[in-house]
Amino acid sequence: MSHPPALAIGDTAPGFTLPLTDGRTVDLAELPGAQAIAVVFWCNHCPYVNAWLGRLNDLAEELADRGLVVICINSNDAATYPADSFDAMVEKVRQTGTVFRYAHDETQQVARAYGAERTPEVFLLDADRRLRYRGAIDDSWQPEGVTAHWLRDAALAVMRGQDVAPAETPAVGCSVKWRH
């Protein structure tokens, strides 16, 4: 199965409208006040995602009033990985009290359009929906090992109208679970 080329830094991100765990939908084009948008490919069962969950939630909360919108998207095949079903997503949010939006990409079209390969994998967009940063949330999936806060620094740079450096880092995590 061929995948489209991954988004490159500076590309305009493909739009999407997806169902959220809170019963609403999220439309990438309809995010008033968004100065930076972190589209993060995510899931329920991956140990890397679970290790980063608290830090991403804290970042979403910390920078929300400055215009950061965090949208986590679960594109995993729920038939093969039932822990990643929509109902399980709703339950995960209930259990963890996450503040970021958690969307379901049942068709996997959004993951394919972005060229997502890992969970978690960040695609940080500016207000014009252009890709400004791609990669990991920070430099260690273990909280005590973090020395570089890549997503936080990139989001702050985007919100200040500055260049992002580094613009790309390697995403570390589980593979996206594609439908066969």
The stretch 158-170 carries a mean pLDDT of: 97
In a domain, residue 3? The reply is no
pLDDT at site 5: 63
For residue range 104-136, list pLDDT tens digits in order.
999 999 999 999 999 999 999 999 999 999 999
For residue range 28-58, list pLDDT tens digits in order.
999 999 999 999 999 999 999 999 999 999 9
Summarize the chain as % helix, strand, coil (round to 5): 30, 25, 45
In a domain, residue 11? The reply is no
Domain carrying residue 151:
19-24+33-175
Burial of 123 from C-beta contacts in 10 A (0-12 / 13-18 / 19+)? buried
In a domain, residue 92? The reply is yes
Dihedrals φ, ψ of 17, to 5°? Answer: -130, 120
The total of structural domains in the chain comes to 1
Q: How many CA atoms lie less than 13 Å away from 65 in the CB half-sphere?
A: 1
In a domain, residue 4? The reply is no
CATH code at position 85: 3.40.30.10
